[in-house]
Structure 1
């Protein structure tokens, strides 16, 4: 990896570690200074490595520079001197000279604590995800703006407001006590799940799959699994779900980056090792008594890694969707259930259910109706494909619909 590629790669992997450790050491109130120090560290690397070449151990070099900049930065920071330093001294710590611990165990602890800190209901889900992307995943503001189909100014304001709220609330960077973990953990899992979904379904991007978002969500999920109090059945179910979806990454796109639908995917491109890992996590998720939506979605995703197209398989998927709807109704789940119904019991039975769903502004709804009408009413099939084209939000979705329209015309519509 050359220097032009190395520094952006290290920024993505190490920026969040440096910020999290500094915030754990000096408090969340110092997050702005921590981010400045991390950014300045990489700026120094860009300048120094360009003149002197890349050091033998780039990561260790970054950590040492970050430590030096942290000591200098906090030493000259007025707020730190007046408020933070006395508190550290009260704890019998040699304030400014205390060790900034960038060891692997402390990095993991710091990032896990940061994850719990930012996944608090006092800020919106959008703000929680934006902060997770910025602080824990090392995403730039431009990248976050793309993920939210927004602009840099809006994202900067969102991040600033969220940090101010967390500072004002004096959010503790410690992981909650075991008794409180359950209620806090649900929100954490939800944010990680939403982050993965944005990468996997990419509803706000022209790219079919944003693998970097999925990978970061999986990394955050592993942080939870590496911590005993959060290594619970539902966190294992979440990781199983991620593994099953990720196993089909390569098959979901063709060489031009366009989406390949499930039944057109090359089964040989499915990652069998990831499927095995998913099965292992799924088994661990079964050790508890509660069944969450992550359990049910993980089993559905597992079924999709099985290449057979039998009615029995789709009947099992249908029952899982029934259970999901019992947990919490969602039009998207109802839509997916209807497709499984069509595979298990036929298009006419499914059509009656599909017409009861109110999703007229969603292209997936019209795509499903087009499929269900394909054997009985070609005119309605075409009408719904055209409506799907109008309601689709990205170019790669429209390309798929255009191919379906062309195929329908070839069949005499």
Structure 2
């Protein structure tokens, strides 16, 4: 990997790990200090590697420099030093030897994993608003930029910056512990944790902020953090299994979802032989094990829908089950996107005319997906009207991938395909 690609890649994968470990060491009230030290580490990498070349083990180099910067900061900040050093000298892994400063930063993978899981719950504390919880988790743990978070929330940079500021202020004021909560608090905090991971996966699965069809790194990060939950006895719960099942099913089609030129390939046109059968099997495994207890979440329902989509052949049984699942999903948690997807399933089962009548009755903003669905439904009934709806959708499209799909649809109608 070339240097111009390596540093952004390492920033995405390692910045959050360094930040979280340092924040756990210093205390949550020093979150911004931890972020600054992590940023300084990557600035040093850019300055050093440009002239001396990339070291044999870039990640180890970053961790070594982060340790030194943190140690230097600790030596300069007497108040912080007086707080931390006594605590560390009482711990076997942080004890000083022969009068040396304690080796107080453990950046090994097992500590990274534990710290990130604990931080995930810390930023999802109930004293912080739900929107701010998710924004802060996406920022600290997932490396999202402000624009990416703004796009994910369909809002602007100023709003996100205000949410992040308020959340950090609350973390400092409340001195929230970086730890997995007690068992009685798990359920209430886990809802927001799962919402964050769900949003992260969706941002990668279809990213408008980078004008890309698919950002697998974000999807893989969401799956990795979900596996952290599965690996902890307190959080290895049915809802977590259901979310992981959903991400397995969705990611199984990555290879088929992009064309040779990077264009988006819709489900109906995908090459089924490119689907990842191991991930489909994993999805089935976790969906089966999620079906325990009385709780039915949107993740269970969406995973079950995604499971049916791993059967490419159209059958009445397939679309009847998908339609029933969407009906239940809309009762559990209504969303305009789910409502539109239900209409598509209805069209496959009952025909486009029935779907058009149902579409006129749903609560949906007149957005690009609404008009795109109308175009699909009218495509074989009234091509001229279908073209008009696709053009309306094209005028509202926010990404290059959407525009390409809609332009292909308009051309295919013009060519009589």
Report if TM-score (shorter chain) is over 0.5: yes
Deviation at 1:106, TM superposition (A): 1.6
CA shift, 1:166, in A, is 1.9
200, 214, 227: which is aligned to 1:222? Answer: 227
How far does the alpha carbon of each residue in 1:97-149 deviate from its partner, in whole angstroms, 9 at most, with x for none?
36222222221110011111112354455543443333213345566567667
CA change 1:148–1:358 in 2 (3 A) is closer
1:33 and 2:38 aligned: no
**50 and 368 in structure 1: CA distance in 2 versus 1, 3 angstrom threshold:** closer
Q: What aligned pairs does 1:12-411 form with structure 2 within 5 A after superposition? A: 12-77=12-77, 79-81=79-81, 84-85=83-84, 88=87, 97=102, 99-140=104-145, 158-411=163-416
Q: How far is the alpha carbon of 1:150 from its aligned partner?
A: 7.4
| Contact in 2 for aligned 1:15/1:38 (Cα 8 Å) | yes
Structure 1 residue 29, shift from structure 2 partner: 0.8
* 1:294 Cα offset (Å): 0.3
Structure 1 unaligned segments of length 5 or more: list them: none
322-331 vs 144-153, greater mean Cα deviation? 144-153
Query: What is the CA deviation profile of residues 288-314 of structure 1, one whole-angstrom value per residue up to 9, with x for unaligned ones?
Result: 332211011011111111111112111
Whole-angstrom distance in 2 between the partners of 1:68 and 1:404: 57
Shift in alpha-carbon separation, 1:42–1:410, aligned structure 2, 3 A? closer
CA RMSD in angstroms, aligned pairs only: 2.9
Distance in 2 between residues matched to 1:408 and 1:7, nearest whole Å? 45
CA contact (8 A) 2:134 2:192 kept: no
Pair 77,384 (structure 1): closer, same or farther in 2 beyond 3 Å? same
Q: After TM superposition, give the deviation of residue 319 of structure 1 in Å.
A: 1.1
Give the superposition deviation at 1:349.
2.2
- Contact (CA 8 Å) 2:134, 2:195: kept in 1 or not? no
1:401 and 1:407 mapped to 2: Cα distance? 10
Q: 3-state DSSP class of the match of 2:362?
A: coil
How many pairs are equivalent? 411
Judge conservation of contact 1:146–1:205 (CA < 8 Å) in 2.
no
Task: Choose 249-258 or 115-124, whichever is displaced more.
Answer: 115-124
Aligned in 2, Cα 1:313/1:151: closer, same or farther, shift over 3 Å? closer
Q: Tell me the alpha carbon deviations over residues 24-79 of structure 1, each in whole angstroms, 9 at most, x when there is no partner.
A: 12211111111122222223333444454444433333323222221220221255
TM-score w.r.t. structure 1 length? 0.89
C-alpha contact (below 8 Å) 1:369/1:381 kept by paired residues? yes
Q: Conserved in 2, the CA contact under 8 Å of 1:361 and 1:391?
A: no
Q: Which moved more, 1:14-23 or 1:236-245?
A: 14-23
Q: Deviations over 1:273-329 (max 9, x none)?
A: 221221222222123332211011011111111111112111111111111122122
| Gaps in structure 2 of 5+ consecutive residues | none
Q: Is the 8 A contact 1:225 1:232 kept in 2?
A: yes
Task: Report the Cα offset of residue 213 of structure 1.
Answer: 2.1
Whole-Å Cα distance in 2 between the matches of residues 242 and 33 of structure 1? 34
Maintained 8 Å contact 1:148/1:204:
no
Greater mean deviation of Cα atoms: 130-139 or 193-202: 130-139
TM-score (structure 2 length as normaliser):
0.88
